[in-house]
Amino acid sequence: MLVKDKVIVVTGGGNGMGREMVLLLLSKGASVAAVDMNKAYLDETVKLAGDLASRLSTHVLNITDQEAVAALPEKIIARHGQVDGLINNAGIIQPFVKLNELQYDAIERVMNVNFFGALYMVKAFLPHFLLRPTAHIANISSMGGFLPVPGQTVYGASKAAVKLMTEGLYAELLSTNVRLTVVYPGAIGTNISANSGLKIDPEMAEKNNFKMLAPKEAARIIIDAIEKDRYNVMVGSDSKMMDFMYRLSPKMATGLIHRQMKSLLDN
């Protein structure tokens, strides 16, 4: 779906990859409804949009609030006149600890934001998309959604759920006007750790060779995939490499990622 003259909703639109997608969509002629919990982040996105901000609306919202999400489509339609697309980008990671040490409140928070938040958004907007000439849903999964990452087991489970929800919905909607893309980012240089309430030692990250893709480049890859109606897209060389390795030998790929993450878990 070409985004020009379309109205696209972007969750997590206040910073990082979400903000870059908002700005890129605006530059391509789309109107955008940016959703985020943090008003200050959204205000900064508006400021960065400059003269294009006339086509941007902001919505302070917790996507885990089912009732608030259900009321969102009508607010966006009232502002923009229509709604044509959704990018479920908002997400958090878990503390870098093994499952045995992970507290239930952290488990529930990750699942609520990453899976149920995305599910609530899809359920709220899909009836409206089915009435449009064309519409698109892009759900951001993760490299961790197809590859087990020690210390991020529940995060991976939440993103694997996003993956299968998107693929199942794709199959259900094949005879409709709604297209879907599932996105698998690798390491992206965003504030996801800080926004998840975590502190990660930069020296330790460098030691583990966590090379980050710039959010602006990640946004370009994702919007390009939406415009080409791609079924899925790997974002970053690490995601592409690990997808290849996991298909070749899941056990070998799991061993490799274990060795890569071992020092983080041992500290």
Task: Write out the catalytic residue numbers.
Answer: 155
Q: How many other CB atoms are there within 10 angstroms of residue 49's CB atom? A: 20
Cα(18)–Cα(11) distance, integer angstroms: 7
Burial of residue 47 (CB within 10 Å: 0-12, 13-18, 19+) is: exposed
153 Cβ partners below 8 Å, 6+ apart?
A: 94, 98, 99, 102
- Structural tokens at position 10: 């972007």
205 Cβ partners below 8 Å, 6+ apart?
A: none
Measured torsion, CA atoms of residues 236, 142, 93, 213, in degrees rounded to the nearest 10: 10
Which amino acid would we find at residue 256? L
Distance of CA 182 to the CA centre of its chain: 9
